[in-house]
Structure 1
Amino acid sequence: MKLHNDNLIFSPSDLILFLESPFASWMEHFSLISPEALDLKDQDDAMMLMLQDKGAEHESSVLEGLKQQGLTIANIGLSSDKKAATIQAMKEGADVVFQACLSKGKFTGFADFLVKVAGSSQLGDYHYEIWDTKLSKSLQPYYTIQLCCYQEMIAAIQGRYSNDFVIILGDQTQQRLRTQEFYYYYQSVKNAFLQLHEEFDLEKYPNPSDSKSWGCWSNYAKQLLKEADHLSQVATITRSQIKKLNADGIQTMQDLIDSDKPSIKSLNTDVYKRLKAQAQIQRKSEGLTTPLFEIINTHEKLGLALLPQHSENDVYFDIEGFPLIEGGLEYLWGCTYFDEKGDRKFIDFWAHNEIEEKIAFKSFIEWVYARWQQDPTMHIYHYANYEIAACKKLMCRYGVCEFEVDQLLRNEVFVDLNRTGFVGDSIF
Structure 2
Amino acid sequence: MGCKYACFQDWSVSMGKQKRPALSAEEAVITEAGLKHEKKYLQSLKDRGVGVFEVPQQGTAEERAELTKAAMRKGKEVVYQAALYSHPWIGFADFLIKCDEPSDLGDYSYYPLDTKLKKTATADHLIQLSLYAYLIAQVQGKMPSEARIITGDGAEKAVYTNIAHYYFLEAKNRLENFIAGHYFPSQPDPCKHCSDCAWKDGCDQIWESQDHLCRIANIRKTQIKKLKDNDINTVTELVELDDNYNIKKLSSRIFQKIKKQATLQKHKEKTGKSVTELLPLEGGRGFNRLPVPDSGDLFFDMEGDPLYSDGLEYLFGVYYRSDGEDFKAFWGHNHEEEKAAFERVMLFFGEHLQKFPNAHIYHYNHYEVTALKRLSSRYGVCEDEVDDFLRRGTLVDLYKVVREGI
TM-score (norm 1): 0.78
Q: What CA distance in whole angstroms lies between the structure 1 residues aligned with 2:18 and 2:47?
A: 48
Q: Which residue of 2 aligns with 1:75?
A: 54
Q: Which residue of 1 aligns with 2:96?
A: 114
Amino acid at match of 1:110: F
Identity rate of aligned residues, in percent?
32
Larger CA deviation: 146-155 vs 258-267: 258-267
- In 1, Cα distance between equivalents of 2:379 and 2:355: 26
SS in structure 1 of the partner of residue 190 of structure 2: helix
- 1:91 Cα shift? 1.0
Query: What are the Cα deviations for residues 304-350 of structure 1, in whole angstroms up to 9, with x where unaligned?
Result: 32222333443332211112333322112223445679xx9544332
Counterpart check, 1:416 vs 2:400:
no
Q: Is the 8 A contact 2:267 2:273 kept in 1?
A: no
Amino acid at match of 1:52: T
> In the superposition, relative to structure 1, how do residues 370 and 97 fare at CA in structure 2: closer, same or farther (>3 Å)?
same
Distance (whole Å) between structure 2 residues aligned to residue 69 and residue 34 of structure 1:
43
Q: Is the 8 A contact 2:153 2:310 kept in 1?
A: no
Q: Does 1:291 align with 2:272?
A: no
| Paired residue total | 398
**Structure-2 residue corresponding to 1:364:** 345
- Aligned partner of 1:45 among 25, 42, 48: 25
Pairing of 1:8-407 with structure 2 (within 5 A): 19-28=1-10, 32-34=16-18, 41=21, 44-46=24-26, 48-64=27-43, 66=45, 71-77=50-56, 82-194=64-176, 205-210=186-191, 212-213=193-194, 215-260=197-242, 262-286=245-269, 287-298=271-282, 300-337=283-320, 346-397=327-378, 401=382, 404-407=385-388
Aligned-partner Cα distance in 1 for 2:109–2:336 = 48
For structure 2, the residue ranges without an aligned partner over 5 or more in a row are: none
Q: Matched residues in 1 for 2:75 and 2:353: separation? A: 68
2:119 and 2:310 in contact (8 A); partners too: no
- In the TM superposition, what whole-angstrom CA distance separates every residue of 1:370-389 from its partner, at most 9, and x where no partner exists? 44333333322212332123
Q: Structure 1 residues 383 and 268, CA, compared in 2 at 3 Å: closer, same or farther?
A: same
AA at the equivalent of 2:278:
E
**8 Å contact kept, 1:129–1:164:** yes
Question: Which TM-score applies when normalising by structure 2?
Answer: 0.82
Q: Do the aligned partners of residues 174 and 359 (structure 1) sit closer, same or farther apart at CA in structure 2, a change above 3 Å counting?
A: closer
The one-letter code sitting in structure 1 at the alignment partner of 2:30 is L
Distance in 2, matches of 1:178 and 1:406, equals 38
Q: CA RMSD in A?
A: 3.5
**Which one-letter code corresponds to 1:45 in the other structure?**
A
- Flag structure 1 segments of 5+ consecutive residues without an equivalent: 1-18
After superposition, give the CA deviation of every residue in 1:257-280 in whole Å (9 maximum; x if it has no partner).
333465433334433332223323
The residue type equivalent to 2:345 in the other structure is: F
Larger RCO: 1 or 2 (CA < 8 Å, sep 6+): 1
Partner-residue secondary structure (3-state), 2:108:
strand
Change (3 A) 1:170 1:427: same
Please state how far the C-alpha of 1:366 moved relative to its aligned partner. 3.6
CA gap of 1:347–1:200, structure 2 versus 1, over 3 A, is farther
